[in-house]
Amino acid sequence: MDPVFIVCLLILGAAVGFAAGLLGIGGGMLMVPFLTMLFTWQKMPLDLVVHAAIATSMTSILFTSVSSVWAHHRKGAVRWKIVAMMAPGIIIGGLVSGGAVFAALNTAWLSLAFALFVGYSAMNMLRNRKPAAARQMPGVAGSSAAGAGIGFISGLVGAGGGFLSVPFMVWCNVALHNAVATSAALGFPIALANSVGYIFAGLNETSGQPGMLGYIYLPALAALVVVSVLTAPLGAKVAHQLPVGTLKKVFAFLLFALAAYMLYKAGVAFAAGV
């Protein structure tokens, strides 16, 4: 691989790992647009660029989430009961999304879906709505249903689900630091289910592309993981020391810029018919 390409991946992995620990996100909101740029620069076929960016991003969350959640668990912040209630639905939603729907969407529609979701997530980060005082997490069935929706949507956009699971838990009066930590733990089943789906859905589509396992680009995955697992605990440590309100606002505006880029990619793909 191009040495500059490797350096860019290492920098991206470090930034995303830190963000994963700090905000309880899987990192896909940041990673997918930048991977799309890098894969395009490396002349990957246009009809595979966004699929590979999303799948590689999601698979990296398998490793980042373990590193991040261990740091949060040592602080006693993870609500494991919530993880147990939501995980079955997350796995089902992720398998359906990553294994069936993902491959059926072309690059244009996938880029558009990602851009809209990132824009929506950024808007939610800027809002400060207070939940009703009596609202609580639903029971097993309700939590599993919410998990299925989070797992399904996460699979389409290559994100660890934090931009859905954190607001959902806060809406149910889970304390923010607990919601962030629990979201990090939920990132693992989301990433596992969707990664399995991406592999089997893309085996035939990418059989002639070197370095591809299904839709996952393995060389990029390795470079991202090497550094992200090191910086995720640093982000988790900062999350327990500093208020993150201002950081969330800055992050939200960055997401708006990335959503605009993915809208541009969607327009290019629609024009090219891919």
Q: Is the pLDDT of residue 110 over 60?
A: yes
Predicted local confidence at residue 130, as pLDDT: 54
State the pLDDT confidence band at 86, using cuts at 50, 70 and 90: very high
State the pLDDT confidence band at 267, using cuts at 50, 70 and 90: confident
Q: Is the pLDDT of residue 129 over 70?
A: no
pTM higher than the cut 0.75: yes
- CA–CA distance, 154 with 26 (Å, rounded to integer): 10
* Closest by Cα among 57, 101, 263, 89 to 165: 89
Q: 149 vs 94, 125, 141, 154, 255, CA distance in Å?
A: 9, 19, 13, 8, 22
Predicted local confidence at residue 131, as pLDDT: 52
Judge residue 257's burial from the number of C-beta atoms within 10 Å of its C-beta, 0-12 exposed, 13-18 middle, 19 or more buried.
exposed
Say which residues have a Cβ less than 8 Å from residue 139's Cβ, sequence separation at least 6: 85
Q: Per-domain residue ranges for the chain?
A: 3-272
**Looking at 66-75, 155-164, 211-220, 256-265, which range is the least confident one?**
155-164
Mean local confidence (pLDDT), 41-63: 88
